[in-house]
Amino acid sequence: MLIPRDICDQLADDKMVALSLKDMDYFNCIVLKYSDRLARYIKRISGASDQEVEDVLQDAFVKIWKNLNEYRSGLKLSSWLYRIVHNVTISRWRKISTHQKAFTEGVNEIIKVNYDDSDENESQEEQVHELIQQLDAKYRDVVILKYFESMNYEEISDILKIPEGTVAIRLNRGRKALKTLLDKRT
């Protein structure tokens, strides 16, 4: 029996995990709360189709379920989930193609564009997609996590398992690389 959404919405992350470990039905609360955000993240870092995103997300939730006992309540659940999803996504795409460019979407801070439904902004958004794909993977990761997932340095550090100082350096270099790529286009 699935737990109703209104009950899930009232549960804190630690409580959801504790209840999920006792009763598998509560795992659906984690899925309900995080699936849209994680799917969006997968799409951004991989450029995958909606069906591929669903496949990766399903694999990730299976891995999350299998490793739920390893979650430590001192960590933010979202950071732990993003780390697993990140690793599953990267592993899957490495298996599919070592040459495939990944990661889409742009950085508003770099191009200072407020997107709306206009053709011009859609064109600019497509250009940013292309620019992000040209970045080295280590820069794409931090740029996407910072600007599209709105994570702070500590969360990015937890997900990528790199020091916060390295996050700052990669973010700075990623922004500079995007600016250089953008300047070349204009």
Domain residue ranges in the chain: 1-102, 104-186
Placement of tokens 């951004």 in the chain? 44
Tell me what pLDDT residue 118 has: 47
- Could you check whether 1-102 and 104-186 share the same CATH topology? no
- The confidence score (pLDDT) of residue 186 equals 64
Structure letter (DSSP) for residue 118: S
Number of Cβ within 10 Å of residue 143's Cβ equals: 26
* Amino acid 125: pLDDT: 62
Residue 69: the pLDDT is: 92
Give the pLDDT score at 122: 54
Are 40 and 62 in contact by the 8 Å Cβ rule? The answer is: no
Instruction: Provide the residue-wise pLDDT of the chain in tens; the chain has 186 residues.
Output: 788 899 999 999 999 999 999 999 999 999 999 999 999 999 988 888 888 899 999 999 999 999 999 998 888 999 999 999 999 998 887 765 433 333 333 344 444 433 444 455 556 666 776 788 788 888 988 988 887 788 888 899 999 999 988 998 999 898 888 888 887 876
pLDDT given for residue 184 in this prediction:
82
Coil, helix or strand for 115?
Answer: coil
Whole-number pLDDT of residue 33: 95
Closest of 29, 24, 27 to residue 8, by C-alpha: 29
pTM of the model: 0.62
pLDDT value of position 110: 45
Instruction: Specify the pLDDT at position 15.
Output: 93
Q: Is the domain defined by 104-186 classed in CATH 1.20.1050.90?
A: no
Token pair of 123, please? Answer: 């064109």
Residues 6 or more apart from 125 whose CB is under 8 A from it? 105, 106, 113, 115
User: What CATH code is assigned to 1-102?
Assistant: 1.10.1740.10
The CA distance from 73 to 178, in Å, is: 37
Query: How much is the pLDDT for 120?
Result: 52
